Amino acid sequence: MAAPFKPSSLQLSWIKRVLFLLALLPLARLIWLGMHDALTANPIEFITRSTGTWALVMLMLTLSITPLRMLTGVAWPVQLRRMMGLFMFFYALLHFSIYLWLDHWFDLMAIGKDIAEHPYVLVGFTAFVLSIPLAATSNAAMIRRLKTRWKTLHLLVYPIAILGVLHFWWLVKKDVSEPLVYVLVLAVLLGVRLWYRYRPASQTASRKPLPARMPKAG
């Protein structure tokens, strides 16, 4: 059997560049639609929905790296994970900024009331706030400085993911088919982790050690 693909450092840097540009496409699309007056009759709702959706997609991609390694042993994509995670934060930040600025024009009273009284806003806001320390500690210096606490801190990604999906689920009026997709994807991504962790001992004995996580900066 051919050895699984593992990019050289040059290849990896190109993969990263391409991925970076791909991850900017949703934003480019919104700008293009905006310039062509094609953001629907309710442009603010449209760009809020779109940036929220892409934050969720980036989050799901971030969370898929570990299950991929568990199931296939392919470890190198972990080097793309930080970028995915930061793009999740980027789209979540756009999403929140639109809410703050274009939707509510920094009317803090109205925003506070909205967060306190509407559960879907509250869970979305909480997920965003929790993701701030993760974005802030995503550089190599912070990883070195925080050592094992870094790993503990970044376990926050799990509550963030659950709250993010719940935010979408509670937002929907009646037709939950779209948020249901995210519920199922998240269930699979978390399920693989649990299965891998708690699978029967006989399999554990024969299992190869997990390839290194390669937390190096890059």
Partner 1 sequence: MWISKKPDILASEITPREVFEQRREFIKAAGFGAIGAALASAGLMNSMRAEANSPASGLQKISDFKKTPYGAGETLTPYDDVTSYNNFYEFGTGKSDPKPQSRLFKPRPWTVSIEGEVSKPRTLSIDDIFKIAPLEERIYRMRCVEGWSMVIPWVGLPLASLIKYAEPTGKAKYVEFISMADPKMMPGVRAPILDWPYVEGLRMDEAMNPLTIMAVGLYGEVLPNQNGAPMRLVVPWKYGFKGGKSIVKIRFTDKMPLTTWVRSGPTEYGFYANVNPTVDHPRWTQSTERRIGGGLFSPRIKTQMFNGYADQVASLYTGMDLRKNF
Candidates 30-38, 70-78, 83-91, 146-154: pick the segment binding partner 1 (CB under 8 A).
30-38
Q: Which is nearer to partner 1, 119 or 218 (CB)?
A: 119
- From 35-43, 130-138, 195-203, 206-214, give the range in contact with partner 1 by CB under 8 A: 35-43
Which segment (2-10, 115-123, 132-140, 192-200) binds partner 1 by CB under 8 A? 115-123
- Residue 116 CB, shortest distance to partner 1, in Å, is 11
Report how many residues bind partner 1 under the rule CB under 8 A: 29
Among 76, 169, 170, 196, binds partner 1 (CB under 8 A): 170
Instruction: Tell whether residue 43 is a contact of partner 1 (CB under 8 A).
Output: yes
Supply the DSSP string of the chain, one letter for each residue: -PPPP---HHHHHHHHHHHHHHHHHHHHHHHHHHHTT-S-S-HHHHHHHHHHHHHHHHHHHHHHHHHHHHHH---GGGGGHHHHHHHHHHHHHHHHHHIIIIITTT-HHHHHHHHHH-HHHHHHHHHHHHHHHHHHT-SHHHHHHHTHHHHHHGGGHHHHHHHHHHHHHHH-SS--HHHHHHHHHHHHHHHHHHHHHH--HHHHHHPPPPPP------
Among 20, 25, 45, 133, binds partner 1 (CB under 8 A): 45
Among 4, 34, 191, 211, binds partner 1 (CB under 8 A): 34
Q: Which residues bind partner 1 (CB under 8 A)?
A: 31, 33-35, 37, 39-45, 47, 102-105, 110, 113-114, 117-120, 170-171, 173-175
